[in-house]
Amino acid sequence: MKFLNAEPFRIKVVEPITKSTREQRDEWIEKAYYNVFKLRAENVYIDMLTDSGTSAMSSNQWAGIMTGDESYAGCKSFFNFEKAAQDILGFPYVQPTHQGRAADFIMSQLYAKKGGYIPGNMHFDSFKGHAEVAGSIPVDLVIAEGRTANAINHPFKGNMDIEKLQAIIDEHGTENIPLIIMTVTCNGNGGQPVSMANIKEVSAIAKKYDIPFMIDAARFAENCYFIKQREAGYEHKTVKEIAKEMFSYADGCVMSAKKDGMVNIGGFICTRDEEMVPMINLLAIVNEGFVTYGGLSGRDLEALAIGLDEGTEEEYLEYRIEQVKYLGDELAKRGIPIILPTGGHGVYIDARKFYPKIPQSEFPGQALVVELYKTGGVRGVELGSCAFSKRDPETGEITYPELDLVRLSISRRVYTNRHMDVVVNSLADVYERRDTMKGLRITYEGPILSLRHFTARFELL
Ligand SMILES: Cc1ncc(COP(=O)(O)O)c(C=O)c1O
């Protein structure tokens, strides 16, 4: 009975957030050079910048913080974490790291090779960067349905294109494909899920050609919940059973625990290949710290052990995915163009459709982020012309990405649907005024084009 359904928790500790006036926000955003990364967080009413490291921990996790064992080597909290990861993911060897990108780094050192192509559905930036530094070429092979903002009703828009995977192996030869990675859910196109069938197919190809196959598991629990909801044969399985099966098809995984690990910091890399373990441990020791803490405190490991279990609870996941859908449905009802179906961790708005009169050279996504903040104190993030443009090194010519998106990430267990209503009403207000809106001009980029979204300064046109 749906009408009896609400959050599967009650609130024990509250953190005040501050409302502000439009005049105050106009001033704050101007001082921040119209870049929301430069705002003080205390001047944000509802923060949807990211779902990473922003979860609210449970009373059990906070209790775990108190019992965390801070011994340098062999701490009890490591063994609690190791057992939780082994039980839930099924890999025998587990190395903690301070966050996901440190695990990405270890993975790149293990597998990436000069001139090698690394196919994935859509790689996350931190692995992409590490792979490129190692001389590899990461390639995104997500299916065509996953590349468009149009409301194509495909249940698994995060799937990898199997024909393209085969083609890249045929073209370059297995000796030039050092690794295949599947990111679940596919963060790059809106937290879209990957089906078990697709993971199985990719795994079979990897096995056939003896290519290692890793999963980027940052949002694995949300992916497993979508499999339960949308894939025939999984409706009666538990999310934990689905997770076990999913990971059984891979040689290992990396995880940013700041997402489905339900903690504010942490990551890890797992493998079933015993031969890899000494190198993983060595890379952890030189970069992260001794193997049993990996850059984390004992209390972080304790909270993560509990978080992995809580993040795969079905009542929690039902609430989580329904909250994202609630926000998406309410925006769609008001005609606001979003990526459909909604994915796992947020809603993505198509800023080019929202502001058809603002050309990409004037940053329609960034303009929307700024106006949403000014209107409702809501902080989203641009994933478009500012974040993803490329510049030709010879001619200096800029190529704009196909999509100009604004992501509204939802932090786990943090906001209620009343907060979502504020977001919807603020966006609806901006949408009504869309014809009068103008874009932005960039006045300072910062040292690196691909990271300019963090550093850029803008002025209003
Ligand atoms: C899919 C995916 N992989 C890896 C990472 C990197 O993790 P971290 O931010 O913990 O370094 C992220 C972070 O957003 C991510 O979304």
CA 33/CA 228 separation, integer angstroms: 44
Q: What are the CA-CA distances from residue 109 to residues 114, 202, 215, 269, 283 (Å)?
A: 11, 22, 16, 12, 8
Cα of 220 from ligand 1 centre, angstroms: 12
Find the catalytic residue in 69, 453, 456, 458.
453
Query: Helix 314-333 to helix 417-432 angle, to the nearest 10 degrees?
Result: 20
Q: Sign of dihedral through CA atoms 207, 208, 212, 215?
A: negative
CA 7/CA 21 separation, integer angstroms: 30
Strand 267-271 and strand 252-256: the pairing is: antiparallel
Intrachain domains 2-51+313-460 and 59-310 with the same fold: no
Please tell me the residue having the least CA distance from ligand 1 atom 10: 100
pLDDT by residue, tens only, the chain of 461 residues:
556 678 999 999 999 999 999 999 999 999 999 999 999 999 999 999 999 999 999 999 999 999 999 999 999 999 999 999 999 999 999 999 999 999 999 999 999 989 999 999 999 988 988 998 899 999 999 999 998 877 677 999 999 999 999 999 999 999 999 999 999 999 988 899 999 999 999 999 999 999 999 999 999 999 999 999 999 999 999 999 999 999 999 999 999 999 999 999 999 999 999 999 999 999 999 999 999 999 999 999 999 999 999 999 999 999 999 999 999 999 999 999 999 999 999 999 999 999 999 999 999 999 999 999 999 999 999 999 999 898 888 898 999 988 899 999 999 999 999 999 999 999 999 999 999 999 999 999 988 888 899 999 999 99
Cα of 126 from ligand 1 centre, angstroms: 7
- The domain 59-310 having CATH identifier 3.40.640.10: the answer here is yes
Instruction: Select from 256, 287, 348, 454 the residue to mutate for testing ligand 1; criterion: most ligand atoms less than 8 Å from CB.
Output: 256
Coil, helix or strand for 2?
Answer: helix
309 annotated active-site? no
56 annotated active-site? no
Find the catalytic residue in 123, 157, 259, 374.
259
CA atoms within 13 A on the CB side of 403: 19
Instruction: Select from 126, 128, 258, 453 the residue to mutate for testing ligand 1; criterion: most ligand atoms less than 8 Å from CB.
Output: 126
Closest CA to 122 of 343, 321, 287: 343
Concatenate the DSSP letters of all residues of 13-48 into one string.
S--------HHHHHHHHHHTTT-GGGS-GGG-SEE-
CA 119/CA 180 separation, integer angstroms: 5
> DSSP alpha helices (H): ranges in 143-187?
162-172
Could you tell me where the beta strands, DSSP code E, fall in 137-227? Answer: 137-140, 180-183, 213-216
The pTM of this model reads 0.96
Question: What's the topology of domain 2-51+313-460?
Answer: Aspartate Aminotransferase, domain 1 (3.90.1150)
Give phi and psi for 237, each to the nearest 5.
Answer: -90, 155
Concatenate the DSSP letters of all residues of 272-303 into one string.
S-GGGHHHHHHHHHHHT-STTTTTS-HHHHHH
Close Cβ partners of 446 (under 8 Å, ≥ 6 residues apart) = 452, 454, 455, 456
Domain locations in the chain?
2-51+313-460, 59-310
Instruction: Select from 51, 99, 124 the residue to mutate for testing ligand 1; criterion: most ligand atoms less than 8 Å from CB.
Output: 124
Cβ of 25 less than 6 Å from ligand 1: no
What's the distance, Cα to Cα, between the start and end of the chain in Å? 51
CA 401/CA 392 separation, integer angstroms: 14
CA 13/CA 56 separation, integer angstroms: 10
Dig out the tokens for 8 from the structure: 């599967």
